[in-house]
Structure 1
Amino acid sequence: FYITDSGHEIAYRVDTPEEAARVIEARDGLDLPQAVLIANPVDPDKQLPPRELDDLLTRAWAEADARGIKGNASTPFLLDFIQRDTQGRSLEVNIEVYRGNVRLGGEIATALAAARNEA
């Protein structure tokens, strides 16, 4: 979540809150218990430089391996390593991700409420 594009292909995507709401409505209409995962990329102008992140992750994983940090302890270690190494810039990216997710969540909720009111 520090960069806009992971470089990995995805099989399915939606591009608007209304499309996301339709996916949720379809899931609910089929009575499926699964969650719908919405990935909302950070604004490209707010991301960490991808090459910098690659270098950071290489060094962070090497340090984790050297310290024997594995499993559930990996995530907090990596987040702390990246925050310290970027002098807090990664935290600013995380805040932008949070703000974007809150905004998009509200837009999807609004679209979902509108769709349900039409039904």
Structure 2
Amino acid sequence: MIRGIRGATTVNENEEDVILKATEELIHEMIRKNAIRPENVAQVIMTVTEDLTATFPAKALRTLRGWTYVPVMCMQEIPVPNSLAKCIRIMMTVETNEKQENIHHVYLEEAVKLRPDLSII
């Protein structure tokens, strides 16, 4: 079965190292909570809010061993007024035997506000 696994986090600054560190932390937590293996990932879509322009968050994924051939795409979120600022979102499309209710979506930092119902640690 193919499932989507969501993740999101926020940063305080529009700086490359800050964005990459936060993205890497988010990716590692998504992998850990869902036992994700790169060979089971069809694609990864990453978005950032319009206030994050210092780097592509996909660079963080590219540093992980085994993820070289996983297709990754970055794009900008729709700039909805009053939406969460400095936010990085990830959608992984993964082959898994887990039921939807057993998928662990990961929301860190201020991003817990996006889905408080799924942000239980």
**TM-score of the pair, normalised by structure 1:** 0.25
Which one has a bigger Cα radius of gyration?
A: 1
TM-score, normalised by the number of residues in structure 2: 0.25
Higher-strand-fraction structure: 2
Specify which structure has the higher proportion of helix. 1
